[in-house]
Structure 1
């Protein structure tokens, strides 16, 4: 299977969920083997240089996955666009923005899916590299855990746990196996969510400044406040899967394995990636020339132009 990039550049304008700042986002094609790149166009000199994404740059995980470089450059809330890039198997891309945060759009990854579709996707000459899990790896905290296990495909099972009337009315566990299920149909439309009672606390920490009913599900003491309700009956756990897919793609490559989590979040997802990469016995790097031996989960990637 070959590496992929965009056929052309494309731009969009939106608002940062946490910063509340207006953001112009532009996606550019990038050369093979260059990886996922970011650049802050509002910064100059060393701070305005290209950032090559890696799990070791995720240094702020308060309510999102945020790149923080040694020079103090921030690129926040990258998980939703990363989730869309994973769904389309984009290996090489330059993401430019003129603010500290990726725009939230409607709170899901669907607007980024549309951007990728509009830009078009092309194959490149180099072979795509996959990270294959060879041995179980787990990160466990007092009230949450995440695990990767060997599996010839890509499957995710997540459980959330909220003692609240809204959550008690829906399933809090969801499994998706990409060998037979569609990211676009099952995951892409699921929006981020938050509790009304947390808004003031978040804003006192300069978080959630751009949040509203158009880009998040907002929950009060008993119900969802959004007039149109939920997009899926179990939208909350599906969004956590959307986040996890984006967090895991920060590795820069598709992962062959089964991911399971209980109350997973950005920090513990990143810790799992770092633990895998730190131990060569847990993984191997593989390619599939002419798709020979390619797991079925990756046959369904949307076709390149």
Structure 2
């Protein structure tokens, strides 16, 4: 890059939060945004309410954020509100849930700066949900690839170098028999395990990504759909969850009858979907239009959204050391 680009990259680096757990280093790439806007409409998995989402190009160093009317919620760990079965962001009484699939597609495809406008079907609705679509990130990724990306520029017309968080030391977080860990590496690698001994058709599955990149995500991760156990559906609906779930937006497995809407897109589709979720959840480590997914070997077992975001919280905190 020229001197102007280098100067801008230094500005981006200075803006990042300091943490002993990660070092921000250049990716050798420029920050990107969408070439033009994208619109999608659909129902929420948990709320069953219809919402319209518009993805809009944004300036460099802005990052990704959700906009509901005059309310803005940055895609940041500072606004994560723990909730069952999804990742939720909350600010000033406004909440947007099930953000993980969309954020996963944006992070993996390199959309670093983006305004995500959400319009509810109910006026003055302060509890919004990103549409579930087919239960995967495939439709988001296809829409992004269709419009394409371009270099993002800041308010002064400068391009900005994209930085990535490299994990400095091993970190391990555990809840009961579930855990997530990150180990220093020069490449992004993901190992994920799930275990459903009471549902033989799922059972114990492990998935290893090798080297993670955009192409790998598109072919091996993006189309993996969310899943549930049939015998737990009624209980979850009594809890106010999955009210918009169906055989069209999730794969459903019965403990006694196996998969109710086969064929699967992959033999280990449930485990791959957990990797999809992980990428979306870890994307909230991103700051100022830089990469969110940490450069590390990430190993998770029965982790889920809460542990995913716990890892982000630890990696971004200036207080936590190992």
| 1:205 CA displacement | 2.0
> Contact between 1:135 and 1:282, CA under 8 Å: does it hold in 2?
no
Relative to the length of structure 1, the TM-score reads 0.86
Asked if 1:263 corresponds to 2:302, the answer is yes
Change (3 A) 1:179 1:103: closer
**Distance in 1, Cα, partners of 2:236 & 2:319:** 39
Query: What SS does the corresponding residue of 2:112 show, helix, strand or coil?
Result: coil
Which deviations, in whole Å up to 9, do the C-alpha atoms of 1:146-167 show, x marking residues without a partner? 0111100111001101112111
For the residues of structure 1 that align with 2:113 and 2:241, how far apart are their CA atoms?
A: 30
Aligned pair 1:19/2:19, yes or no? no
The answer to whether structure 1 residue 54 and structure 2 residue 76 are counterparts is yes
Which of 166, 173, 190 is matched with 2:206 structurally?
Answer: 173
Structure 2 vs 1, CA of residues 179 and 145 (structure 1 numbering), >3 Å: closer, same or farther? closer
Q: Secondary structure at the match of 1:182?
A: helix
Provide the aligned C-alpha RMSD in A: 1.7
Equivalent of 1:251 in 267, 281, 285: 285
Q: Pick from 315, 318, 322: which aligns with 1:276?
A: 315
Unpaired runs of 5+ residues, structure 2, are 1-28, 121-127, 153-158
Aligned position for 2:232:
198
Structure 2 Cα separation of the partners of residues 122 and 165 of structure 1:
46
Q: Give the match for residue 63 of structure 1.
A: 85
Provide the rounded CA distance (Å) in 1 between the counterparts of 2:241 and 2:247.
16
Distance in 2 between residues matched to 1:15 and 1:236, nearest whole Å: 22
Look up the SS of the partner of 1:149 in the other structure.
strand
Output the TM-score relative to the length of structure 2: 0.81
| Residue 90 (structure 1) aligned to one of 111, 121, 134 | 111
Q: Is the 8 A contact 1:135 1:281 kept in 2?
A: no
1:201-216 matched pairs, under 5 angstroms: 201-216=235-250
Could you tell me how far 1:268 is from its partner in structure 2? 0.7
